[in-house]
């Protein structure tokens, strides 16, 4: 079965996440923002880098919008002519030169045709050719047979895919987990839950736990517990340590809050420990962490200050990886976020360790459709970016 995934603001992260889950050959980029995934089933809430997903219904050879809209009207006026109940329809068009008025017109014509069959259709207004993720989510599109979003994608070669949404990113749940946790600390960074989810998928990928067991995901820099939080929600066991006893307490409190919100008991443990010297308990199946990112900057630092910060961060992360490497088995996957500093021209200064990682016993993962160099998470106004390293202990 084939699905289309519409990727987030930084598509390479979503592509990498899908590759690690389904394998590089199962993921085919078809435009800047979308890929096709060949798989038996696709659960969008598992992926932090996917905004929307849909099951491919049909494909068309290169066509103009008029031909595509005629095909949509023909296909769904036949399909829904005997539908019982009210249909809610949204239409989103990607990588097509078309106005929102033209997109809306296709829905209006379909609505008129269905009315002749006494079928009621509510058309969601388009202020753009594409419905926002928030609109799709709040209208519950793709979650039942009578709430449908058509996702129409034009590939780089001009081919057209029409898919029916199977859901959109649950932005309400992400916001709740991010903003309503009882213990937050802006000074240790605010890792977004969706990025934590991406990182867990980049590490765990296609790992399968032993029968009757869960994968144990270690976070040696757990902070307020965002990565452990997302790990337990994904069905894993979480193990977090931190240099700060205060952060360990915060992580405990946040997971306890999560248990109350989700009415579940999760498998987790936290303890105090310095990532450069700590001895972790076994087993450890995967390591996922946002490491030390150094001090925050509102503007690019001076060359001297940047050199000082880079040296400090590189030392901490090098010693951490050296320590970790003596304690995890060969083949253990690791995904860590390390800092990269962006200057006014948009160029990045990377940690020295990123170019010599193999010396410490780690092999970078080779992706099929992207490069490791593409795995940078940042906003346009940020100086300190998160560079994701996807590694395997050799």
Q: Is 101 helix (H, G, I), strand (E, B) or coil?
A: helix
Q: Is the domain of 244 the same as that of 372?
A: yes
Phi-psi region of 223 (alpha: psi -120 to 50; beta: other; left: phi over 0): left
For the stretch 161-179, pLDDT in tens is 999 999 999 999 999 999 9
194, 10 contact by CB (below 8 A)? no
Q: Is the domain of 255 the same as that of 314?
A: yes
Q: Which two tokens stand for residue 296?
A: 């925050």
- Residue owning tokens 């200064």: 349
Of the listed ranges 182-191, 202-211, 346-355, 371-380, the least confidently predicted one is 182-191
Integer Cα distance of 150 and 42 in angstroms: 17
pLDDT, average across residues 171-188: 89
Q: Is the domain of 239 the same as that of 145?
A: no
Nearest-Å Rg of the Cα atoms of the chain is 23
Residue closest to 287 by CA, chosen among 359, 336, 242, 214: 336
Average pLDDT taken over every residue of the chain: 95
Question: Residue 378 half-sphere exposure, CB side, CA atoms within 13 Å?
Answer: 23
The residues facing 164 across adjacent strands are 55, 150
- CATH, residue 146: 3.30.2130.30
> For residue 97, with 0-12 CB atoms within 10 Å meaning exposed, 13-18 middle and 19 or more buried, which class applies?
exposed
- Taking each helix axis from N to C end, the angle separating 100-115 and 65-79, rounded to the nearest 10 degrees, works out to 30
Is the N-terminal amide bond of 372 cis, ω within 30° of 0? Answer: no
pLDDT grade for 51, boundaries at 50, 70 and 90: very high
Q: Please identify, among 169, 188, 206, the residue that sits at the C-terminal boundary of a domain.
A: 169
Q: Which two tokens stand for residue 144?
A: 């039942």
pLDDT at 98: 94
Q: Is the domain of 40 the same as that of 165?
A: yes
Q: Which two tokens stand for residue 312?
A: 């400090």
Q: Domain span at residue 37?
A: 2-169
Kindly tell me if the per-residue pLDDT of 188 is higher than 80.
no
Terminus-to-terminus CA distance in the chain, angstroms?
A: 35
Q: Is the domain of 195 the same as that of 290?
A: yes
Q: Is the domain of 150 the same as that of 280?
A: no
Integer Cα distance of 261 and 258 in angstroms: 5
Q: Which two tokens stand for residue 214?
A: 């869960």
Q: Please identify, among 121, 151, 169, the residue that sits at the C-terminal boundary of a domain.
A: 169
Q: Is the domain of 30 the same as that of 120?
A: yes
Q: Please identify, among 131, 147, 169, the residue that sits at the C-terminal boundary of a domain.
A: 169
323, 278 contact by CB (below 8 A)? yes
Of the listed ranges 14-28, 77-91, 150-164, 203-217, the least confidently predicted one is 203-217
Q: Is the domain of 143 the same as that of 207?
A: no
Q: Is the domain of 84 the same as that of 189?
A: no
Integer Cα distance of 106 and 152 in angstroms: 12
pLDDT grade for 372, boundaries at 50, 70 and 90: confident
Q: Is the domain of 164 the same as that of 294?
A: no
What percent of the chain is predicted at pLDDT more than 70? 99
Contacts with 307 (C-beta within 8 Å, 6 or more apart), sequence order = none
- CATH, residue 372: 3.40.50.150
pLDDT at 189: 66
pLDDT, average across residues 132-141: 97
pLDDT at 193: 96
Q: Is the domain of 353 the same as that of 369?
A: yes
pLDDT, average across residues 20-30: 97
Print the SS3 string covering 38-89: ECCCCCHHHCCCEEEEEEEEEEECCCCHHHHHHHHHHHHHHHCCCCCCCEEE
Q: Is the domain of 164 the same as that of 185?
A: no
Number of domains in the chain: 2
Integer Cα distance of 338 and 306 in angstroms: 15
What percent of the chain is predicted at pLDDT more than 90? 93
């Amino acid at each position: 079965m084939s699905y289309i995934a519409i990727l987030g603001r930084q598509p390479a992260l979503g592509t990498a996440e899908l590759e690690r889950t389904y394998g590089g050959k199962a993921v085919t980029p078809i435009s800047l923002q979308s890929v096709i995934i060949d798989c038996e089933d696709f659960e969008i809430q598992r992926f932090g880098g996917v905004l929307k997903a849909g099951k491919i219904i049909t494909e068309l050879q290169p066509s103009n919008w008029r031909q595509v809209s005629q095909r949509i009207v023909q296909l769904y006026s036949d399909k829904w002519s005997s539908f019982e109940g009210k249909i809610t329809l949204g239409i989103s068009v990607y990588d097509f030169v078309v106005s929102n008025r033209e997109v809306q017109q296709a829905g209006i014509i379909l609505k008129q045709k269905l009315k002749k069959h006494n079928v009621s259709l509510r058309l969601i207004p388009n202020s753009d050719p594409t419905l926002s993720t928030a609109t799709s989510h709040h209208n519950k599109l793709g979650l039942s047979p009578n709430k449908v979003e058509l996702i129409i994608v034009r590939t780089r070669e001009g081919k057209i895919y029409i898919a029916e949404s199977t859901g959109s990113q649950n932005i309400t749940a992400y916001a709740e987990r991010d903003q309503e946790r009882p213990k937050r600390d802006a000074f240790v960074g605010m890792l977004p839950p969706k990025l934590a989810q991406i990182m867990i998928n980049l590490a765990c990928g296609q790992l399968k736990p032993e029968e009757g067991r869960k994968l144990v995901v270690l976070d040696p820099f757990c902070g307020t517990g965002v990565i452990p939080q997302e790990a337990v929600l994904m069905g894993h066991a979480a193990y977090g340590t931190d240099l700060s006893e205060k952060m360990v307490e915060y992580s405990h409190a946040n997971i306890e809050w999560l248990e109350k919100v989700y009415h579940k008991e999760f498998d987790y443990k936290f303890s105090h420990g310095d990532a450069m010297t700590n001895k972790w308990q076994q087993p450890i199946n995967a390591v996922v962490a946002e490491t030390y990112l150094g001090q925050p900057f509102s503007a690019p630092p001076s060359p001297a200050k940047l050199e000082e910060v880079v040296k400090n961060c590189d030392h901490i992360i090098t010693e951490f990886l050296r320590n970790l490497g003596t304690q995890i088995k060969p083949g253990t996957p690791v995904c860590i976020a390390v800092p990269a500093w962006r200057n006014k021209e948009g160029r990045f200064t990377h940690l020295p360790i990123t170019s010599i990682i193999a010396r410490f016993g780690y092999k970078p993962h080779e992706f099929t459709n992207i490069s490791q160099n593409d795995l940078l998470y940042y906003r346009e106004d940020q100086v300190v970016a998160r560079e994701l390293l996807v590694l395997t202990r050799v």
